[in-house]
Chains A and B, each alone.
Chain A
């Protein structure tokens, strides 16, 4: 067990997989000579050379499409997007090509590719650099989607993602690349589609992923002082979703709050609530609540930005609402 930052854990996962499998390569803007815009690929060029750690032009659709084609021909690309905001340029490749190739070719062409990068807001990056796109992508069959900032989970899930024969989208967080945690050495695999109970509790189920897990943990500590016991579920993978871990928790607590970054209209939280209402209707003692971004583009001003993101105050209110407190 070593203490690694998120960026080191991701680096370790990619490097170990590239050592194990020569068909794996990393491509993206600034990944090679610059060591990665966020230094996730630091040192990898020196280790693997320029055919396997490749600086791309600023052409997200182009190099995502290159990844699709290379994967169809037997390579296993890791495509780094400097941010998922830029990946919107490549949505045609992700949605129209990567996600559908296996299906529309009748099972002949799989696309074993990972597309990864930071997701959601960082700090004062304004409207075009602070978006969440997970709810847009999770709507499309044929993709797997992982969203995590936990270093150990990131390592284990990245290794699974690289070995997976499907296109896996991997959502990280810019603000948390430097955040440390214990990470098992070597062959540490976390299976895709398996959630985790981040904190056990009895009064309310709080589902949160990526950086919202940290807010959930802060809120849980705060509410404990008031005698409210919060159970935090981190699905880690949005697609396929570990529904059972959520259902089991709701069956115990009888109350659900989903805490998610991003706009709340037709969001992934809506889907979770839909599934819980359908499968756990008789277990619910209150209508589920959701905490999301406010439905506005991200403003630049720090105070406004803070207000747009899910806050501890709004999360606590939501939890108290389902507890009728």
Chain B
């Protein structure tokens, strides 16, 4: 394929030279092939009809005594009554709740795995303030026991991000939370890459304390802008090259630069910005930088002060990914309000509030984290219901990651990623009983054979036993 395109290009170039009467015929120019491509294949699944569920669709809708029909790994239909052919297995889930699979937009599973130790820390390439060239997926340890613990908490997809030491930390990767030997076997097919950026204290602490730039928030912003100026130039050089090559001109392609390729991907709208940013005024500055260089910010992460600029975020179609209640570890995390998520959610119909974990423990209990944020909102009279709050863990996360046409809600045609809970999931006592990914049962609390243990866990405690 690659060769034939090259040959075609060469032939067309030559023939174009021989036939000047057709100089404007467009020449096909080889574009870079995708690399580290997903090999994810849905596990075997059946056609199933679940009935009598309390179902939170993920869109803000709740259906009682609901039917959910899945087939070929997809949601076929959700509703009050669904007719199916006799060969479909029917499961009565009376008393249970069904939600879309939980999606965590901020995880370091695999790159900061457990057990934690220095040589397992692969999330922060703290060697330069701009390391846009590194990819989290190249470091994901698929045997991190945290993946399995997260699955038991109903997490079906996640965005694994590099850390926040750098202005540009590198590319993040969307994973489907299935047991896999290879990263490619988990990689969410066709999900956009993320580019992790970081505001504030972390970059200036890491580099400034070494006497390097950035030493200040001024230096941070200069660093972003300098990089984007180069990226704009780099993109232009490739755009010019393709334009000329497609017109049949014999031109050499520009030299490849891994760092600038990532930034170019952002400028082209293919890679989404996930920006660690706590303070309101820094978010506003980052929005202006995005406008200056013509790219989009998908999401501010750890957005402790999002409540101060909730309307600004909504106007700019930016999500805020937040903790329910973490605060105080840094000065930029001091202005906590436990109503942050609820206040962002209620700021606008276009608001995109997300509860994220950034934690191997928190990811197991995101339902509880959202429940706390909901309860805080309700204490101030915002009247948030589970059908609303579930969006903070599902459809809004999917929107942030650019996969909302595929997952995040239980709507026809979407991947059948969902959780059957033993009760209302907005409770400390709720447990994910069954977890489905693409229609396949990947976790069953009542069936040991559906509770994957990673290689690391085998024989770790008792040569013949299980860790858990």
Q: Bound pair: A and B?
A: no
